[in-house]
């Protein structure tokens, strides 16, 4: 059996992989591990629990709350709130634990459980391993006044919006913005934050019904946002995912601005204001070579990590860096947040547009990206990638053809049963051809019986 925790919590098909029983057990185990680590000494433990808009989040929320309270943890239930909102509340209220129920950008049938430690940081690998190893273990059940109490916070969204507004130092009056909320956790807070900041806002996919989260919308389906920006004559569009920890953008003429572009814009903005610590930005191995070259040309150092915003955050913390993120749109601004925050990112990009008087397209032009193709291969043995000679030979042949003018990257997904094949080349056709060739070999060699 593989590790239960992936790169972003525990994730799978709700009520099949992610069950109420598992949610209770994980909550009890997390409380026990943190107690043994001395996190609760001298006070009653407290937790924040939030969720996105999936219907399955309702019963999973109840299960997590039951598990925590039965383990003696006082629980503050905040309902539907973006993942970064749960992290921010965990940090700012001094809670010992935060729990977010979400499968992020995954389809509606999936769900997941993410944990935050005190301070709003994702749990370290060894803590997750300890929680997993404790599942099903016997434990001493508190009784009487030692059981946890449960309260509900109806104004968590409003407090989060107020916090976001405090991160920018100018109004956004005059900017026309379309925001795609993915029928997810951003549906209320994203339009509210942008409007209160002064922007003229048109929200789309902001009517969640429990079933329509990420359904042909949001950061993984930008077509609707592109059409709406063009039709409305907006200055810019932003797209979030189901739990609003991602942000992608669209220019006035419909060009897609991904996380690499956004990181470059914010890195240069912070550097120009003397706020980019060590003139360094942290990203992952998936970042486009064009991003790295653009940063190098303006004297900004790029530090790379493994894929996953948790690894970006860890590197930022160890190096004292203030900006990091991923091509997928996770952007971490550690002056304001402990994790990727899509709404915060949108506000910061808009603030830079106002500050410079330049359009999003003009700001993003600093990065000239190499064509990049990403192919996902499903139904294969992910663990055999590095040991399979035919796969490695296919990669080596692709690298020979690229002759140093591109790169190849294979990696198993940490959140889905998928192997991702990424190829960058001087032309899109070459990148597509080489990626497909490698994918064919992976499919043929590593197919599960």
Which are the catalytic amino acids? 104
- Give the length of the chain: 449
How far out from the chain centre does Cα 313 lie?
11
For residues 88-126, one letter each, b for 16 or more C-beta atoms within 10 angstroms of the residue's C-beta and e for the rest, the string is bbbbeeebbbbbbbbbbbbebebbbbbbbbbebbbbeee
Q: How far is CA 326 from CA 97, 331, 408, 419, in A?
A: 25, 6, 17, 18
DSSP 220: G
Q: SS3 of 304, please?
A: strand
Q: How far is CA 43 from CA 74, 96, 152, in A?
A: 11, 10, 20
Q: Alpha-carbon torsion 365, 367, 371, 375, what sign?
A: negative
Contacts of 388 (CB under 8 A, 6+ apart): 445, 446
As a dihedral over the C-alpha atoms of residue 154, residue 160, residue 166, residue 172, rounded to 10 degrees, the angle is: -100
Contacts of 350 (CB under 8 A, 6+ apart): 168, 172, 175, 177, 194, 197, 199, 236
Q: How far is CA 389 from CA 52, 115, 240, in A?
A: 43, 38, 40
Beta bridge partners of 46: 74
Gyration radius from the chain CA atoms: 22
DSSP H helices in 104-222: 125-134, 156-165, 186-196
Residue 83 near residue 337 (C-beta atoms within 8 A): no
Residue 103 near residue 93 (C-beta atoms within 8 A): no
As given in the structure block, the two tokens for residue 235 are 């200055």
As given in the structure block, the two tokens for residue 413 are 């997904």
CB atoms within 10 A of CB 372: 23
Beta bridge partners of 257: 249
The position carrying tokens 């940090």 is 91
DSSP string, 344-385: HHHHHHHHHHHHHT--HHHHHTT--PPPEEEEEEESB-GGGT
């Amino acid at each position: 059996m593989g590790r239960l925790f992936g790169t972003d919590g525990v994730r799978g098909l709700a009520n099949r992989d992610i069950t109420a029983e598992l949610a209770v057990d994980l909550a009890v185990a997390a409380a026990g591990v943190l107690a043994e680590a001395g996190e609760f000494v001298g006070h009653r433990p407290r937790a924040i629990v939030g969720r996105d808009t999936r219907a399955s989040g309702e019963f999973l929320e109840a299960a997590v709350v039951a598990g925590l309270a039965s383990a003696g943890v006082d629980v503050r239930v905040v309902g539907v709130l973006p993942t970064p909102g749960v992290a921010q509340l965990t940090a700012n209220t001094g809670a010992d634990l935060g729990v977010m129920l979400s499968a992020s950008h995954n389809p509606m049938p999936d769900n997941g459980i993410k944990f935050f430690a005190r301070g709003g940081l994702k749990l370290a690998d060894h803590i997750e391993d300890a929680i997993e190893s404790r599942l099903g273990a016997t434990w001493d059940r508190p009784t009487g006044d030692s059981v946890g109490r449960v309260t509900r916070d109806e104004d968590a969204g409003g407090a989060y919006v107020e916090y976001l507004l405090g991160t920018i130092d100018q109004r956004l009056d005059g900017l026309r913005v379309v925001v795609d909320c993915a029928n997810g956790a951003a549906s209320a807070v994203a339009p509210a934050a942008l409007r209160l900041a002064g922007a003229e806002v048109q929200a789309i996919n902001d009517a969640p019904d429990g079933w329509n989260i990420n359904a042909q919308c949001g950061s993984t389906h930008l077509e609707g946002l592109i059409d709406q920006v063009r039709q409305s004559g907006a200055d810019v569009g932003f797209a979030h995912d189901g739990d609003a920890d991602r942000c992608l953008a669209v220019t006035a003429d419909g060009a897609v601005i991904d996380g690499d572009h956004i990181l470059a814009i914010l890195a240069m903005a912070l550097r120009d204001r003397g706020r980019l610590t060590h003139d360094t930005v942290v990203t992952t191995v998936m970042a486009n070579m064009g991003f790295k070259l653009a940063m190098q040309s303006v004297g900004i150092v790029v530090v790379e990590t493994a894929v996953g915003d948790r690894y970006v955050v860890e590197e930022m913390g160890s190096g004292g860096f203030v900006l990091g993120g991923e091509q997928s749109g996770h952007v971490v601004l550690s002056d304001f947040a402990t994790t990727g925050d899509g709404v915060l990112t949108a506000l910061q990009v808009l603030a830079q547009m106002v500050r410079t008087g330049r359009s999003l397209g003009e700001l993003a032009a600093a990065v000239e990206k190499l064509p990049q193709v990403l192919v996902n291969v499903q139904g294969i043995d992910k663990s055999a990638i590095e040991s399979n000679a035919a796969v490695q030979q296919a990669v080596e042949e692709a690298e020979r053809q690229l002759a140093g003018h591109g790169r190849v990257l294979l990696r198993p997904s940490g959140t889905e049963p998928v192997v991702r094949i990424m190829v960058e080349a001087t032309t899109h056709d070459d990148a597509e051809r080489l990626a497909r060739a490698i994918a064919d070999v992976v499919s043929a060699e590593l197919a599960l019986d």
